[in-house]
Structure 1
Amino acid sequence: MNNLKQLKFWNFGGMYYFYFMIWALIFAFLPFWLNNVAELSTSVAGLVFSAMAITALILEPIYGIIQDKLGLKKYLFGFVVLCLLFIGPFVQYAFIPLLETNAIFGAIIGGAYLSLCLNGGVGVVEAYIERSSRASNYEYGHVRLFGSLAGGTAAFIGGIMFVRNPYSIFWACTVSAVLLGVLLWTLRVKNTADEPNASAEKEAEEPVTKENILQVFKNRSFWGFAIMMIGIATMFDVFDQQFPNYFASFFTDESQGELVFSRITSVQIFMEAGFMVIAPWFINKIGAKNGLILAGVVLFIRILGSAFLTEVWLLAFWKLLAAVEMPLMLVSIMKYITGVFDVRLSATVYMLGFNFSKQVGITVFSYVMGLLYSEIGFQNGYIALSVFVLTFVIAGALIMRSESYYTKKKNLSAA
């Protein structure tokens, strides 16, 4: 039985590894590809990311409700894997012709397709594995660290691959999708009352209703959480979208800059995996709400510092702050959702409160920041972005309540 449980842990870890291998390869090297291979301006490149976000806005509410209805069934996850399988062929044979026909049209179509796999699909992947690992009595942060390891691996090998052949990045995504599909097919998680976790019992016995879902929107903490996600998750992605190009601009040879950036990203993500091991313990000590606030403060410092640092080694060191920020954010999000809301609705809350809100922000701020970078430059643009972060984090913190508030409320009701 213990051997079976260990095998299941590695299965969860493997799914995170291969999915986030794809995620890291795309988001680390897509900016370079759009700039150097597709030769798009920063504003049109920003439109690709906005299209990814808009598509996710449409998908997230639908995905969230479907996944909560499915519980531990794998059909929706399987659809995401199917989309991932065709990333290589799409980029190799369709994306450039679409961009050559009409840059704006191609950017929208390309962004929409990638969103099926990434911006929209990640909610399905995260929600399913979090629920499955919770039902199997695993700590989310310990399973999630495999995603960080994948990111480090992708950054390390991706730089070499991209310099040799920019298209090889996307074919590596297709190969990873094949392995992800095999792991998903072999995974077995029981959704019965004999699960060791009490929340799994509740999920099995009580179906999700429309009234349950509506209760989420009546909770002020949901709206505060959503605002906080715009300040942290949105701005994290918006900042990282074109930072690789900013970093590479400090090198006389841009390809050298791209390679150095991939090495730094690899170090950052392996450090992130280390922090992911201790993050659950740390968040349990300070509380999930405080963990989110702390993640927002780290992001604010990271963006503002990048506006004033003009030495490559300082920028590289500053980027490593993301190794602390990401574990704080990811673990706090899941602990806040399961600590405040009905666990049967974890996918809905995750996809609407986190992913949907994040994509709303990305839809707006990807394009806005693309224009700002063109008009006032990266450094002044980063100052503006840091102000946006601080504003949303403060607003969200004032509205959302801590999970301890709801624990006390439940205890009083039980008494």
Structure 2
Amino acid sequence: MDNSAKMPEKKEKKDFWGFPFTHFTYFFNWQIINGYLTLWLEQVAHLNGAEAGVVFSMMAGMSLLFQPAFGVISDKLLFKKNLIITIAIAAIFIGPYFQWLFIPFAHISNMFAAVITGIFLSFIFNGGVSVIEQYVQRASLANGFEYGHSRMGGSLAGMCASFLGGQLFIWKPYSIFWACTVSAIILTGLLIFSDKVHLENASAAGNTSDKIDWGQIGKIFKIKNFWYLSIFYIGASAIYDVFDQQFIIFFKTFFNTAAQGTQAYSYMTTAQIGLEFLLMFPMPWIINRIGSRNGLIAYGCILAIRIIGSALSPSLIWVIVLRLLAGLEMPLVLVSIMKYIAGAFDIGVYATVYALASNFAKQISVFIFSSVAGNLYDAIGFHQTYLILGAIVAVVTVFAAFALKKENPVQAGERDESGKPKE
């Protein structure tokens, strides 16, 4: 008898914990910038709504160059860290840039400062986010852990950044940017010394060849479902970003002083992201049951309700309740889109599809709507603008419900109640 058959099978090590910390440090910066940059531009840099909108429009506009290039490069690099470390190092300079360069640029021209800032931040965030996300997603396939569980680190970071950012802004507005610098230094160290990937399983995460099949990438644009997914992101996730960009200004109108509004906003956002953090843990299980396509549709429905509801809210309490729904929206879309792309497209061009459909197409809309929404806020007010944005989300969600194809559940990594892959 073969005695080796009696030996217990060694449990494979997943090398998981470095990745949630990577998510934490990157999305700490993301939440600081997205949560407090608008407030800083208004109160410290003295930009109006339209000029602040230019910053976000430039961030979105430059991502139209960064994201396709980053997607192709990421598919080529696979688990090599050249690009992701470059992005992390660039983030280290957020503090110095806003402390010593932004105001001199604004003295030349507010528009000039907005353009330069948009380009700089787009490289780190609008372009860089797809690099971070697809890198961890592929690591989850190689190492055998759920991407959604690593992404909990990003949710926890958002909760911490929302609370800490509000306190830092009230103390010294510039300190929010130096907090980003410190976080980026830690991120760079994690990428260099941590985040071990089981390279022997690299084939599970895509093409291990250094050569990109450009013909195959070109075929992506001929796939109807790619365009349907892009339309959904243009009309849903992009509007989510535009809606949130100046939400803090709308929220402050319910308070007597700006400081009260800022502090309450930090508490509310902390609670919202705390809910996001808690729901991120069961969300992979939920999406495995309902399917990633249905998860995307559910996300669109909730987003439309939240935006339209905010426009019609009779009191601050309703605004807060609707804002907390974002804690459900983010886990839904983050887990659903990762599984949907894996299940509906070729895994070999995963990063390119992710960059083009869920980021590139999305940023086209953000690029257009950021400036448009900024002008609408100034011209017709928040309530009417929110009704317009919510209607757009509702229409594209109905479209996606009929147009998006069903994913392959096995390819998407979806499992049934027993934990076995769906057929």
TM-score (norm 1): 0.93
Amino acid in the other structure paired with 2:79: L
Q: Deviations over 1:161-195 (max 9, x none)?
A: 00010100000000000000010001354564x32
1:79 aligns with 2:89: no
Partners of 1:9 and 1:189 in 2: CA distance: 8
Q: Deviations over 1:86-132 (max 9, x none)?
A: 00000111111112211111111111111111111111111111111
1:128 corresponds to: 135
Q: Equivalences for 1:34-113 in 2 at 5 Å?
A: 34-113=41-120
Amino acid in the other structure paired with 1:130: Q
Partners of 2:120 and 2:10 in 1: CA distance: 41
Contact 1:231/1:296 (CA < 8 Å) preserved in 2? no
How far apart are 1:287 and its partner, in Å? 1.2
How many equivalent pairs are there? 404
Structure 1, unmatched stretches of 5+, are 409-415
1:176 aligns with 2:183: yes
How far apart are 1:396 and its partner, in Å? 3.2
RMSD: 2.0
Partners of 2:105 and 2:309 in 1: CA distance: 38
Amino acid in the other structure paired with 1:30: L
Amino acid in the other structure paired with 2:42: N
2:405 corresponds to: 401
1:378 aligns with 2:385: no
2:204 to 170, 175, 199: 199
How far apart are 1:397 and its partner, in Å? 3.4
How far apart are 1:211 and its partner, in Å? 2.3
TM-score (norm 2): 0.92
Structure 2, unmatched stretches of 5+, are 1-8, 413-423
Q: 1:239 to 1:335 in 2, by over 3 A?
A: same
Contact 2:76/2:209 (CA < 8 Å) preserved in 1? no
Contact 1:223/1:399 (CA < 8 Å) preserved in 2? no
Q: Deviations over 1:216-238 (max 9, x none)?
A: 22211111111111122101110
1:163 corresponds to: 170
Q: Equivalences for 1:233-272 in 2 at 5 Å?
A: 233-272=237-276
2:193 to 180, 186, 198: 186
2:236 to 232, 236, 250: 232
Amino acid in the other structure paired with 1:218: K
Q: Deviations over 1:265-317 (max 9, x none)?
A: 00100110111111111111111111111100000000001001142222111
Partners of 2:32 and 2:393 in 1: CA distance: 26
Partners of 2:411 and 2:31 in 1: CA distance: 37
For structure 1, which segment, 392-401 or 251-260, has the greater mean C-alpha deviation from structure 2 after superposition?
Answer: 392-401
1:273 aligns with 2:277: yes
Partners of 1:187 and 1:321 in 2: CA distance: 34
Contact 2:292/2:339 (CA < 8 Å) preserved in 1? yes
More helix by share: 1
**In structure 2, the residue corresponding to 1:73 is in which secondary structure?**
coil
How far apart are 1:256 and its partner, in Å? 0.9
How far apart are 1:51 and its partner, in Å? 0.5
Q: Equivalences for 1:284-299 in 2 at 5 Å?
A: 284-299=288-303
Amino acid in the other structure paired with 1:292: L
| Percent identity for Structure 1 against Structure 2 | 42
How far apart are 1:204 and its partner, in Å? 2.5
Q: 1:85 to 1:375 in 2, by over 3 A?
A: same
Partners of 1:75 and 1:407 in 2: CA distance: 28
2:418 corresponds to: none
Q: 1:369 to 1:207 in 2, by over 3 A?
A: same
Q: Deviations over 1:144-170 (max 9, x none)?
A: 111000000011111110001010000
1:337 aligns with 2:344: no
**In structure 2, the residue corresponding to 1:203 is in which secondary structure?**
coil
